[in-house]
Amino acid sequence: MTESATTAAARLAELAGTVIGGSLPIRIRAWDGSEAGPATGPVLVLNSRRALRRLLWSPGELGLAEAYISGDVDVEGDLAQGLSTVWNAAKDGKVTRPKVKPTQWPRLALEAARLGVIGLRPPGPGQAASLKGRRHSRDRDRAAIAHHYDLSNEFYELLLDKSMAYSCAYYVDGPGGDLGAAQDAKLDLVCRKLGLSAGRKHLDVGCGWGSLICYAAEHYGTYSTGVTLSRQQFEFVTKRVADAGLADRVQVRLADYRELDNGLDDGQYDAVSTIEMGEHVGDAEYPAFAGILHRVLRPGGRALVQQMSRGENAPGGGAFIETYIAPDMHMKPLGTTVSLLGGAGLEVRDVHALREHYDWTVRAWADTLEEHWTEVVEMIGEVGARVWRLYLVGGALAFAENRMGVDQILAVRPDAAGTASMEPSRRVWET
């Protein structure tokens, strides 16, 4: 260390520069009030030496996330800008991890000890998922869904719009539009793509809080059935359907999607939808999932899959999301999903990219979270609130910076002669 590196922040900056092979991409303020790094932009505030030990024990995304949600770290200024700065520095190669020379290790270790980096693993901040059993077994999937969706109906009612749609909206008028109107536009778009009309039988796999099945029955006169693995969602939708007077046209099942592979549902539906549920289906299980979508349709019936995507090298949700938000989440490249649907016998007729719309959707949720911060803390605790703040801000950035995508994939089950029963010359939902 140099003679000038006397404050905690300066010593941290120099230590970090040696380890990561570059200057700090963001300004830091240490527990002693000292600062180092770029003069402009957000400031990463290290409230405790414990933050450094979290990074030692869990280097990378998870350690930094746990330091934030525990309160050991704060961000002064725009959290999204701070996350983007760090991400872009790593992406552009400004932050690397070169080999440290053996002769440097004693000095680095001594300085790390002086700064309080070395020590026992800090206790977890709480609210992490704890799953047992084989990945994507029925019991484990049920526990994973419960961890995320059974959090609190009151929380989701506060966060979401009146439709209770927890998926990417469709901003017809661009990012300045109202979230509720954009969610209604998405629900209507799905119904038109599926060719729904009075008397048609519609199945929604992973129906959430019932937004689509209720909308389809009320506005298009369908007989809609929803399937959810979440008991809390099942009870909410059951009451919602009764309160709306839709019990004669809408039903909800508390079931695993694999329970549809029973022979009784084969060929029973004119349309099937699955809105951001495929991300919870394991990679090995997805061919069977696609096969179920094919089998429940009558020949000529349509399927709409709205699903998030990531590249081949980053299929999961990331260490933070899989630990605190959506355990066992799996996102695949768009082309892989299209191939799997085709392999199940469905003919893909259209792919509609909605990536920017998800950025706008998540930002609207994040704004609501901040507006009702005190209420959210009362509902799910300070740690829970910080988990969701980080999740929403980071999620919006992932879509804005094209690290994640989301698409509506429209497919049809051809009849025995190969006829698709869909207009080939134009997008039928635009008429």
What are the C-alpha distances in Å from 285 to residues 135, 144, 257, 278?
11, 16, 11, 10
Return phi, psi of residue 307, to 5°. -150, 140
pLDDT at site 330: 86
Question: Can you read off the two tokens belonging to residue 11?
Answer: 């010593």
- The reply to whether 82 and 194 lie within a common domain is no
The neighbour count for residue 19, using CB atoms within 10 Å, is: 17
Q: What does the alpha-carbon distance between residue 149 and residue 209 come to, in Å, rounded to a whole number? A: 10
Q: For the residues 423-428, what does the mean pLDDT come to?
A: 63
Give pLDDT tens digits for 358-413.
999 999 999 999 999 999 999 999 999 999 999 999 999 999 999 999 999 999 99
The neighbour count for residue 132, using CB atoms within 10 Å, is: 8
* 120 within domain boundaries: no
pLDDT at site 429: 57
Q: What does the alpha-carbon distance between residue 213 and residue 228 come to, in Å, rounded to a whole number? A: 12
Q: For the residues 9-24, what does the mean pLDDT come to?
A: 75
pLDDT at site 104: 61
pLDDT at site 2: 46
Higher pLDDT, 294 or 81: 294
Q: What percent of the chain has pLDDT over 70?
A: 89
- The reply to whether 193 and 314 lie within a common domain is yes
pLDDT at site 152: 79
* Mean per-residue pLDDT over the chain, rounded: 88
Q: For the residues 111-134, what does the mean pLDDT come to?
A: 80
Q: Is the distance from CB of 68 to CB of 50 less than 8 angstroms?
A: no
CATH number at 69 reads 3.30.1050
Number of domains composing the chain: 2
- The reply to whether 164 and 298 lie within a common domain is yes
253 pLDDT exceeds 80?
yes
CATH number at 271 reads 3.40.50.150
- The reply to whether 373 and 341 lie within a common domain is yes
pLDDT band at residue 23 using 50, 70 and 90 as cut-offs:
confident
Give pLDDT tens digits for 187-237.
999 999 999 999 999 999 999 999 999 999 999 999 999 999 999 999 999
Buried b (16+ CB within 10 A) or exposed e, 217-229: beebebbbbbbbb
* 332 within domain boundaries: yes
* 126 within domain boundaries: no
- The reply to whether 111 and 147 lie within a common domain is no
- The reply to whether 195 and 340 lie within a common domain is yes
Amino acid at residue number 65: A
- The reply to whether 61 and 166 lie within a common domain is no
- The reply to whether 186 and 328 lie within a common domain is yes
* 3 within domain boundaries: no
- The reply to whether 218 and 181 lie within a common domain is yes
DSSP letter string, 109-137: HHHHHHHT--SSPPPP-S------SSTT-
Return phi, psi of residue 126, to 5°. 95, 165
35-36 and 27-29 strand pairing = antiparallel
pLDDT band at residue 3 using 50, 70 and 90 as cut-offs:
very low
Domain of residue 418: give its range.
138-430
pLDDT at site 1: 45
100 pLDDT exceeds 90?
no
Q: For the residues 111-126, what does the mean pLDDT come to?
A: 80
- The reply to whether 65 and 209 lie within a common domain is no
Q: What percent of the chain has pLDDT over 90?
A: 59
Question: Can you read off the two tokens belonging to residue 328?
Answer: 């066992």
pLDDT at site 4: 47
> What is the value of pTM for the model shown?
0.89
* 173 within domain boundaries: yes
Residue that finishes a domain, picked among 80, 115, 150: 115
pLDDT at site 126: 81
Q: Is the distance from CB of 293 to CB of 274 less than 8 angstroms?
A: yes
Q: What does the alpha-carbon distance between residue 319 and residue 63 come to, in Å, rounded to a whole number? A: 9
- The reply to whether 12 and 147 lie within a common domain is no
Q: For the residues 40-55, what does the mean pLDDT come to?
A: 87
Q: For the residues 282-287, what does the mean pLDDT come to?
A: 93
pLDDT at site 422: 81
Higher pLDDT, 104 or 269: 269
- The reply to whether 98 and 185 lie within a common domain is no
Which residue do the tokens 């350690």 mark? 63
Q: For the residues 331-338, what does the mean pLDDT come to?
A: 95
pLDDT at site 84: 79
pLDDT at site 326: 83
* 276 within domain boundaries: yes
